[in-house]
Amino acid sequence: MREAIRLANESMEHGGGPFGAVIVKDGKIVAGSSNSVTIDNDPTAHAEVNTIRQACKKLGTFDLSGCVIYSSCEPCPMCLGAIYWAGISKIFYGNTRKDAHDIDFADDFIYQELELPVEKRAVPTIPLLRDEAIHTFRLWSTKPDKVRY
């Protein structure tokens, strides 16, 4: 956790946000990164996502089962989703999402949006061309050599 916090502090010195994360496997740090949203002009460049990308590349897999993530802050909904998709086994965090809210990071807004019916969310979300799109899913469901994830 101290390394995640150190990365968060270092990030601010280089123009990034106050967030850091490390991924550990078998007691050893596999990857560590910080928030680079403003540096990379990439809204997905959160510390956890950057760290997951590094760990997957280093380990040569998209499955981080058996890994643990240490984040300087409770993961936002996007990062939490990425952590689940990566199969990470446990999450440790320092600051809470309320602490993040108190310094003007509005992650809670997205948590609240996810609880709303699609038609009541702030960003209009409209189904379109499902009859055409479903064809791809049907092909996937019968693909014999697919890699499940």
Task: Just list the catalytic residues.
Answer: 48
Rounded to an integer, what distance in angstroms lies between the CA atom of residue 53 and that of residue 77? 17
What tokens appear for 133 in the block? 């799109």
SS3 33: strand
What tokens appear for 130 in the block? 């499902």
Q: Report the DSSP beta bridge partners of residue 24.
A: 29, 68
Spacing of C-alpha 42 from chain mean position: 13
Spacing of C-alpha 1 from chain mean position: 17
Biggest distance spanned by C-alpha atoms of the chain? 51
